[in-house]
Amino acid sequence: MSKTALVTGAKGGIGSSITQGLVEAGYRVIATYFPNGEAKAKEWFKENNYSEEQVRLFPLDVTDTAYCKEALTTLLQEEGKIDVLVNNAGITRDTTFKRMTKEQWDEVITTNLNSLYNVTHPLFASMCDHGNARIINISSVNGLKGQFGQTNYSAAKAGMIGFTKALAAEGARFGVTVNAIAPGYTGTPMVEAIKPEVLDSIKAEIPMKRLAAPAEVAAAVAFLASDAAAYITGETLSVNGGLYMH
């Protein structure tokens, strides 16, 4: 029987490649999308020629605790178990701290960090019961090094790393590994939204002088999800072209 993975923000820049990588590795993927994005999600599904067996589209508002609890409890009953959870959904609201509104702060903390509680909590006990499961949290280089204009995002992404280590300690005895991936600047709409002159100066700082391809991040996810990574837990794997070495 094939294993099942749940990927949040599955049709996004990195999420789409993660989904594709896991499908290629033989997983059935539960691909979550923001509930009002059904039409676009269906389009994405079609464009990628997925079958219903390979990918199940699943509406999920990762910011809504009660919604996640109800939807994911039902999902578990329907699917039996989730072997791999990839907490990937995330947003930016970049601005200098002086100008940052409480709303911009809250939006990023809620979507990028509180979502870890909302999505992981309804699934974690079942993952422990079944054992041999994986949780992979998509953090960021900017959670490790801090970034001008991203106090909200850097705080959330650093918080994801703390969560990863703490939950890794709790999951270890059950064979549930919990790891983070810290991508660098990756060729996605999120990065393309940065002003060209700012992006050029960021690229100049990257030792490899290029952005990551989304597939390069997806390959790290597929590795951490695999049986070969069973003894790796609480780790943060950087995929950043040398931008930050720690």
- Contact with ligand CAA (CB under 6 A): which of 76, 91, 109, 194? 194
The answer to whether the beta carbons of residues 85 and 120 sit under 8 Å apart is yes
Identify whether 244 is a catalytic site residue: no
Residue 126 vs 147, nearer CB to ligand CAA: 147
Q: Return the amino acid letter for 65.
A: T
Which residues have C-beta within 8 Å of that of residue 51, sequence separation ≥ 6?
none
- Contact with ligand CAA (CB under 6 A): which of 48, 104, 147, 236? 147
Cα 41 to Cα 60: distance, rounded to the nearest angstrom: 12
Q: How far is the CB of 78 from ligand CAA (least distance, A)?
A: 33
Q: How far is the CB of 179 from ligand CAA (least distance, A)?
A: 17
Is residue 217 near ligand CAA by the rule CB under 6 A? no
The answer to whether the beta carbons of residues 153 and 197 sit under 8 Å apart is no
- x/- binding map, residues 67-106, to ligand CAA, per CB under 6 A? -------------------------x-xxx----------
Q: How far is the CB of 14 from ligand CAA (least distance, A)?
A: 9
- What Rg do the C-alpha atoms of the chain give, in angstroms? 17
The answer to whether the beta carbons of residues 82 and 123 sit under 8 Å apart is yes
Q: How far is the CB of 72 from ligand CAA (least distance, A)?
A: 25
Q: Return the amino acid letter for 81.
A: K
- Contact with ligand CAA (CB under 6 A): which of 63, 111, 118, 140? 140
Stretch of 103-111, 160-168, 185-193, 219-227 contacting ligand CAA, by CB under 6 A: 185-193
- Which phi and psi (to 5°) does residue 4 adopt? -115, 130
- Contact with ligand CAA (CB under 6 A): which of 57, 71, 82, 141? 141
The answer to whether the beta carbons of residues 54 and 112 sit under 8 Å apart is no
Q: How far is the CB of 136 from ligand CAA (least distance, A)?
A: 15
Helix (H) or strand (E) holding 221: helix 214-225
Residue 148 vs 226, nearer CB to ligand CAA: 148
Structure tokens at 162: 């703390």
Q: Is 118 helix (H, G, I), strand (E, B) or coil?
A: helix
Is residue 63 near ligand CAA by the rule CB under 6 A? no
Catalytic option among 33, 50, 153, 185? 153
The answer to whether the beta carbons of residues 66 and 43 sit under 8 Å apart is no
Structure tokens at 202: 């960021």
Is residue 167 near ligand CAA by the rule CB under 6 A? no
Positions in the binding site for ligand CAA (CB under 6 A): 92, 94-96, 140-142, 147-150, 153, 185, 190-191, 194-195, 198, 202
Q: Catalytic positions, please?
A: 153
